[in-house]
Amino acid sequence: MCLQLPIKNIFVWLYLATTAILIGGLLYLIVSASKSDYMPQDESMSAAYMPSRLAQQLPTDIAHSPVAKFPFSLYLSTANLHNIRSLKDDLRVLDSVNPLSTIDNRRILSMALTDSLKIHKYKSNNLSLDSLISLVQWASKFKVYETIDTAESLLYTSIAGYWLDYVVNENLTPMSENEPSVKFTYKYKYLKSRCEELRHNAPTKITNLEKVLDNLIKNKWAHLIDASWNETSKLQKMVFFMLIAITLYAYVSLFQNLYKRIKNVQ
């Protein structure tokens, strides 16, 4: 004989509907994460060498006030940023016109390839993940040169450090706040891992829901309960206990009805 479930109790339906919506929402979040793994081509630092034009660009009185008189915009419009020989030539030119202050020459070149380059090329902070990958590929070369050409390590460290700070602080971290689902894309994870490999840890914003799920998966019940208790308002606590009460009532009603049915059948 077929046993019909007498689910007439509205609270039971409400509970089942809420559970279905939560599970559906979770599945949607998982499915909607992008899985594209296309990677931009590396614009290699072995791009063709071109002789430096810096000597023609510098004003004759640059030695008097090198930082103020350096033509940052003009330099960046013609500089070959992808060839380290060209950049070393630029440094030699600076040292020849301003031999008394070599540390200032390195500081000028650092400023050109960091703050000035950012204004020249990266005015907007809304870079795509592909652009960020290209930028990290370029900046990471200086990390290698830092260890090979130790005489200029300060210069290379400053350039690599600036751009990696930029990628993390002004792109990866805000992205994780404004668009939480981007954290689960392959390119974002690649960028984060690459930055961490280069010792630029990228803290990512974790939503409260993600924290709850993370604690549930790791069975950190004590921390979950403690944090939930401390960080929720009185209204949220009341709503929570009401939901618990409704759920318990729904189960009690369901089992009471089932018991009556079974008893009637017998």
Partner 1 sequence: MYSKIILSLAFCASFTVSALCQYDEKYVETSALQIDGVNYGVLKMSRKDNRVKVKYFAAKDYAGTSVYDRYSKWKVGRKIVAVSSGTYMTDCNANFAKPVGICTDNGSIVNEQVMDNGFDGLAIVYATGGMAASNLKLGDLTVTLANGVTKRLNIRNSAFDKAEFMRWAQDNQATVFQTHLFVYKNQLTINQERSSKEERERRFLAVSIMPSGEVKHFIVNIKKAYTIYVASQKALEYLQQRENVKEVTFMLNLDPGCQNVYEVYKPDGSVYRSSTFTGQVSIQNAANLIVYYYE
Q: Which positions touch partner 1 (CB under 8 A)?
A: 106-107, 110-111, 114-115, 153-155, 157-159, 161-162, 164-165, 168-169, 173, 195-196, 198-204, 214, 218, 220, 222-223, 226-227, 230-231
Q: Of all helices (H) and strands (E), which one includes residue 13? A: helix 10-32
Phi then psi for 83, rounded to 5 degrees? -130, 115
DSSP letter at 49 equals P
Min dist. Cβ of residue 117 to partner 1 (A): 11
Q: Is the CB of 174 or the CB of 253 nearer to partner 1?
A: 174
Min dist. Cβ of residue 9 to partner 1 (A): 38
Q: Is the CB of 15 or the CB of 142 nearer to partner 1?
A: 142
What's the length of the chain? Answer: 266
Q: Is the CB of 223 or the CB of 260 nearer to partner 1?
A: 223
Min dist. Cβ of residue 81 to partner 1 (A): 15
Query: How many distinct helices (H) and strands (E) make up the chain?
Result: 14, 0
* Burial degree of 167 (CB within 10 A; 0-12, 13-18, 19+): buried
Q: Is the CB of 199 or the CB of 263 nearer to partner 1?
A: 199
Place of tokens 């960080």: 231
DSSP letter at 46 equals B
Q: Is the CB of 83 or the CB of 173 nearer to partner 1?
A: 173
Q: Do residues 67 and 111 lie in contact, with contact meaning Cβ atoms separated by under 8 Å?
A: yes
Q: Is the CB of 232 or the CB of 253 nearer to partner 1?
A: 232
**Beta carbons within 8 Å of 264's beta carbon, 6+ residues apart:** none
Min dist. Cβ of residue 89 to partner 1 (A): 20
Query: 10 Å Cβ neighbour count for 246?
Result: 15
Min dist. Cβ of residue 143 to partner 1 (A): 10
Min dist. Cβ of residue 230 to partner 1 (A): 5
